[in-house]
């Protein structure tokens, strides 16, 4: 007998990085509910990340309008269906005005800073290790990425160093000449990835800024996909990389989700909340703490190159240490004897998505919180 579909409305972030960090919840729900059907709501930049989610009915692209108009528009699009579960990572209150069996709504953390992956897991009341970010791709997407990375005829493949030198704000961008110096040290003779190739990634508007990186690449051994591929193809390409170095950005989170060892460069952003997620990742910063950057630029909005105090030597040292850690882990795994592990305890979905108490209902749609910063 065919199971009745379980419709899930999943409202995630506008920004690419936040959307990636919440993506593990989709995999968790897809794994736990075989008959799940997803309608995913996201901003225009992040929406393409969810094109290949299993059981996908629809991706709704929500663009911010005046006031709370975009939330009323969304409500109009989804109000005619009874939902099995509404997950609202924007804390908008939309779930309170829809027919649904269960809801899980984000609430602002007022305590010590916690990572966004942990924060997302708390929305579903998950205990233990939170679901790691996960993006779905098709074999065709991976095949295209592999084709783009194929070495030129007669050239050895070698390791791949991927870099993401751009970000959404000048204050978070490490100087491009330092990226060039770092890649030269790692890919050059005696480097940790000697003889390898450089993979350059970025958005459509980042082409000019990476020109210095292309020029610095030894004998043109680079693959420049800046502005040439979509997010999921970039993700597939990163799966083939040996190391990623990049500014705090959506691309950095995509790299970490792809499982590539990731070095995230931080300055005026908080790695406690936005550091790359995973066991083989490192957040690297210069001598100043996040709080010291706040003291200089309280709104984090000034056109200041805050990252200039992060030296090349610090990044290269961190990269070498991470690559050594990866190598050591691989050796340990090869030497380990097979063992029978206890079955993982999977949290019960019923406990995860219990409805909030009726007293938490918003009185009217106008009372819904518009969390447009995510």
Of residues 18 and 215, the one with the higher pLDDT is: 18
pLDDT tens profile 317-342: 999 999 999 999 888 887 876 655 54
pLDDT band at 354 (very low <50, low <70, confident <90, very high): very low
pLDDT score recorded for residue 337: 61
pLDDT band at 65 (very low <50, low <70, confident <90, very high): confident
Q: Is 67 left (phi over 0), alpha (psi -120 to 50) or beta?
A: left
pLDDT score recorded for residue 2: 60
Max avg pLDDT among 260-264, 330-334, 348-352:
260-264
Maximum pairwise Cα distance, the chain: 69
pLDDT score recorded for residue 277: 98
pLDDT band at 365 (very low <50, low <70, confident <90, very high): very low
- Asked if pLDDT for residue 358 goes beyond 70, the answer is no
pLDDT score recorded for residue 66: 76
- Asked if pLDDT for residue 244 goes beyond 90, the answer is yes
Q: Which residues contact 130 (CB under 8 A, 6 or more apart)?
A: 24, 117, 118, 120, 121
What is the overall mean pLDDT for the chain? 88
CA distance 133 to 277: 8
pLDDT score recorded for residue 215: 79
Mean pLDDT of 145-171: 91
Q: Which of 334, 179, 192, 213 is nearest to 261 (CA)?
A: 192
pLDDT tens profile 161-209: 999 999 989 999 999 999 999 999 999 999 999 989 999 999 988 888 8
- Asked if pLDDT for residue 359 goes beyond 80, the answer is no
pLDDT score recorded for residue 46: 96
Decide the pairing of beta strands 6-11 and 83-88: parallel
- Asked if pLDDT for residue 106 goes beyond 60, the answer is yes
Percent of the chain with pLDDT over 70: 89
CA distance 123 to 138: 29
**pTM of this structure:** 0.89
Residue tagged 């010590």 (tokens)? 112
pLDDT band at 210 (very low <50, low <70, confident <90, very high): confident
pLDDT score recorded for residue 145: 98
Mean pLDDT of 290-303: 93
- The C-alpha torsion from 164 through 329 and 319 to 241, rounded to 10°, is -30
Mean pLDDT of 296-324: 95
Extract the tokens encoding 364: 């009217």
CA distance 307 to 343: 45
Q: Are 21 and 51 in contact (CB under 8 A)?
A: no
Q: Are 51 and 127 in contact (CB under 8 A)?
A: no
Q: In DSSP terms, which residues pair with 243 in a beta bridge?
A: 161
Q: In DSSP terms, which residues pair with 160 in a beta bridge?
A: 197
Q: Which residues contact 101 (CB under 8 A, 6 or more apart)?
A: 82, 83, 84, 85
pLDDT tens profile 162-175: 999 999 899 999 99
pLDDT tens profile 20-54: 999 999 999 999 999 999 999 999 999 999 999 99
pLDDT score recorded for residue 341: 53
- Asked if pLDDT for residue 304 goes beyond 80, the answer is yes
Reduced 3-state DSSP string for the chain: CCCCCEEEEEECCCCHHHHHHHHHHHHHHHHHCCCEEEEEEECCCCHHHHCCCCCEEEEEECCCCCCCHHHHHHHHHHCCCCEEEEEECCCCCHHHHCCEEEEEECCCCCCCCCCHHHHHHHHCCCCCCCCCCCCCCCHHHHHHHHHHHCCCCCCCCCCEEEEECCCCCHHHCCCHHHHHHHHHHHHCCCCCCCCCEEEECCCHHHCHHHHHHHHHCHHHCEEECCCCCCHHHHHHHHCCCCEEEEECCHHHHHHHHHCCCEEEEECCCCHHHHCCCCCCEEEEECCCCHHHHHHHCCCCCCCCCHHHHCCHHHHHHHHHHHHHHHHHHHHHHHHCCCCCCCCCCCCCHHHHCCCCCHHHCCCCHHHCCCCCCC
pLDDT band at 109 (very low <50, low <70, confident <90, very high): confident
């Amino acid at each position: 007998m065919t199971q009745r579909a379980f419709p899930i409305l999943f409202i995630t972030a506008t920004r690419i990085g936040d959307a990636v960090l919440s993506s593990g919840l989709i995999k968790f729900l897809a794994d736990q509910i075989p008959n799940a059907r997803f309608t995913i709501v996201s901003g225009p930049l992040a929406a393409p990340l969810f094109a290949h989610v299993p059981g996908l009915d629809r991706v709704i692209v929500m663009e911010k309008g005046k006031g709370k108009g975009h939330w009323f528009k969304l409500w109009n699009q989804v109000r005619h269906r009874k939902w099995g579960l509404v997950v609202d990572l924007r804390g908008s209150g939309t779930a309170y005005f829809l027919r649904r069996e269960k809801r899980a709504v984000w609430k602002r953390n007022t305590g010590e800073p916690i990572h966004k992956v942990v924060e997302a897991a708390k929305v579903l009341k998950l205990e233990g290790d939170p679901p790691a970010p996960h993006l779905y791709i098709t074999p065709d997407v991976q095949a295209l990425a592999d084709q783009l990375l194929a070495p030129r005829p007669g050239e050895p493949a070698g390791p791949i160093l991927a870099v993401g030198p751009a970000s959404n704000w000048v204050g978070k961008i490490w100087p491009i000449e330092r990226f060039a110096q770092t890649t030269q040290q790692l890919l050059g003779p005696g480097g940790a990835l000697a003889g390898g190739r450089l993979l350059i990634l970025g958005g459509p508007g980042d082409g000019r800024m990476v020109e210095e990186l292309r020029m610095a690449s030894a004998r043109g051994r680079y693959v420049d996909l800046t502005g040439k591929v979509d997010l999921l193809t970039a993700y597939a390409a990163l799966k083939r990389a040996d190391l990623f170095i990049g500014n705090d950005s959506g691309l950095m989170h995509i790299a970490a989700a792809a499982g590539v060892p990731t070095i995230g460069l931080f300055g005026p952003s908080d790695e406690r909340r936005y550091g790359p997620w995973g066991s083989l990742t490192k957040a690297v910063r210069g001598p100043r703490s996040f709080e010291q950057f706040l003291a200089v630029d309280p709104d984090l909005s000034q056109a200041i190159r805050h990252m200039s105090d992060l030296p090349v030597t610090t990044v290269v040292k961190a990269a070498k240490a991470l690559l050594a850690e990866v190598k050591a882990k691989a050796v340990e795994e090869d030497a380990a004897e097979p063992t029978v592990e206890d079955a993982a305890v999977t949290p019960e979905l019923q406990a995860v998505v219990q409805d909030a108490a009726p007293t938490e209902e918003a009185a009217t749609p106008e009372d819904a919180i518009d969390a447009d910063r995510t």
